[in-house]
Amino acid sequence: MIYLDNAATSWPKPPVVLKAMADAMEQAGGNPGRSGHRLSIAAARIMFDTRDELAGFFGIHDPLRVIFTANATYALNLALNGLLKPGDKVVTTSIDHNAVRRPLRHLEKHGIHLDIVSCAADGSLDVSAMTRHIDAATRLVIITHASNVVGTILPVSAVAEIAHHAGALLLVDAAQTAGVLPINMTEMGIDLLAFTGHKELLGPPGIGGLVMADTFEVSRLETMVRGGTGSLSELEEQPDDLPDKFESGTANLVGIAGLGAGLRYVKERNLEQIGEYFKKITRILIQDLSVIPEIRLYGTLDAEQAVSVVSFTAAGRRVSEIGMRLDDEFGILSRVGLHCAPAAHRTIGSFPEGTVRLSPGSFTTIDDIKKAVQAISEVVKT
């Protein structure tokens, strides 16, 4: 089997991740922040250590500004619902994911003004177009760090500069890039970062987070959920302390333990080397696919400008048929369709049919890529 669906979720996970999750259940099974006994303390240490490592990894100082959520979607919803008020203008791009677009369409009904900047057909964003859309009325700018459909990387730092110049905040969706590209929120000017643990941070599903820059004014962000925090129980009002303001209810300790182990694995393997490896296998994948005449590739076709996500269609072929045959006949796992990003597919010209998406991961070998391309070639010709 060759797994090329890492943009949906990475697989397999490093053994250290599975071990950390089992260890957390066996050796730290208390409820963090709820009690004073050893199992509760052990659980709280796992949570804090993971928070601390994430803060360092994303370039902020205060670990309490890392808010754990179930996934990037929840983090994006927290940021959007917590920040935006009726009358606010929001600027986003035409390749965002439904995790951004759907909450925005909902908020639009409640009085926010949505301004969508078109990306080019290869997914790239013209920074000068962004300048024309962001004005003094803009409260928030949202961009995805890299497209989940074609992998194209967007110019985060340049957009941050424009947003800040206009007095707006920048929210970045890093679902496809955390663990692949370096992200230093302080240097890049990111105010809010939504990430997920189960993609290239190599953790389990069900854990992600929202990270707030050290300079972000926390009082601007309302919480979405209120409840027990283990702190200030005498109060019937939600506390303002971080991270408790945003983290009510018992945490996903096992997920956090797995995420922590995944992150340490990524750091040991070295982010720069991981990035180079991804470029190398993506370059080979694009090159080898591009010589098959039946195939149309989407995106920049440049591994320097994209993460390892490659989309294609084949003339006269149903994408679902291609995906099924790759799985059934060759054991090659891809994802076909719209990838929860109809706007992105409209942008690249593949709506409503969608594409076949191939997303190699950290454990994909060059041999896997060669075999996959051979199989695709047979499927589109027969």
Partner 1 sequence: MQYGVVLFHTTSAVMKAEKLLLKKGVSIKLIPVPREFSSDCGLSLRFDWDRRDSVASELNAAGVEMMGIHQMSLK
Give the H/E segment covering residue 320.
Answer: helix 319-330
62 touching partner 1, by CB under 8 A: yes
209 touching partner 1, by CB under 8 A: no
**Burial track 40-77 (b if 16+ CB lie within 10 A, e otherwise):** bebbbebbbebbebbbebbbbeebebbbbbbbbbbbbb
Q: How far is the CB of 350 from partner 1 (least distance, A)?
A: 45
For partner 1, the binding residue among 18, 114, 218, 242 (CB under 8 A) is 242
Distance, in Å, from the CA atom of 285 to the CA atom of 371, rounded to the nearest integer, reads 10
Q: How far is the CB of 49 from partner 1 (least distance, A)?
A: 8
Distance, in Å, from the CA atom of 127 to the CA atom of 119, rounded to the nearest integer, reads 10
For partner 1, the binding residue among 16, 18, 39, 64 (CB under 8 A) is 64
For partner 1, the binding residue among 56, 230, 275, 342 (CB under 8 A) is 230
Q: How far is the CB of 57 from partner 1 (least distance, A)?
A: 16
151 touching partner 1, by CB under 8 A: no
Query: Which residues, numbered 39-58, are part of the site for partner 1 (CB under 8 A)?
Result: 40-41, 44-45, 47-49, 51-52
∠ at Cα 214 (7, 52), nearest 5°? 60
Candidates 228-236, 253-261, 262-270, 306-314: pick the segment binding partner 1 (CB under 8 A). Answer: 228-236
For partner 1, the binding residue among 82, 155, 205, 239 (CB under 8 A) is 239
Q: How far is the CB of 40 from partner 1 (least distance, A)?
A: 7
At 230, phi and psi to the nearest 5? 85, -5
Distance, in Å, from the CA atom of 302 to the CA atom of 50, rounded to the nearest integer, reads 34
Q: How far is the CB of 349 from partner 1 (least distance, A)?
A: 47
Residue 99's alpha-carbon distances to 194, 196, 207, in angstroms, are 11, 12, 15
For partner 1, the binding residue among 168, 244, 263, 335 (CB under 8 A) is 244
Half-sphere exposure of 5 (CA within 13 A, CB side): 17
Candidates 138-146, 168-176, 231-239, 266-274: pick the segment binding partner 1 (CB under 8 A). Answer: 231-239
Q: If we measure between CA atoms, which residue out of 184, 199, 213, 196 comes closest to residue 307?
A: 199
- When the beta carbons of 62 and 135 are compared against partner 1, the nearer one is 62
- Torsion of Cα atoms, 270 then 193 then 44 then 207, to 10°: -80
CB 181 within 8 A of CB 307: yes
Q: How many CB atoms lie within 10 A of CB 243?
A: 22
- When the beta carbons of 42 and 292 are compared against partner 1, the nearer one is 42
Query: Which residues, numbered 285-304, are part of the site for partner 1 (CB under 8 A)?
Result: none
CB 166 within 8 A of CB 136: yes
Candidates 108-116, 242-250, 270-278, 327-335: pick the segment binding partner 1 (CB under 8 A). Answer: 242-250
342 touching partner 1, by CB under 8 A: no
- When the beta carbons of 52 and 88 are compared against partner 1, the nearer one is 52
Distance, in Å, from the CA atom of 353 to the CA atom of 137, rounded to the nearest integer, reads 37
Query: Which residues, numbered 21-40, are part of the site for partner 1 (CB under 8 A)?
Result: 32-37, 40
Q: How far is the CB of 30 from partner 1 (least distance, A)?
A: 10
229 touching partner 1, by CB under 8 A: yes
For partner 1, the binding residue among 231, 290, 320, 365 (CB under 8 A) is 231
Distance, in Å, from the CA atom of 193 to the CA atom of 178, rounded to the nearest integer, reads 10
Cis peptide before 360 (omega within 30 of 0): no
217 touching partner 1, by CB under 8 A: no
How many binding residues for partner 1 (CB under 8 A)?
A: 29
234 touching partner 1, by CB under 8 A: yes
- Torsion of Cα atoms, 41 then 42 then 47 then 51, to 10°: 90
Query: Under the rule (CB under 8 A), what is the footprint of partner 1?
Result: 32-37, 40-41, 44-45, 47-49, 51-52, 62-64, 229-234, 239, 241-244
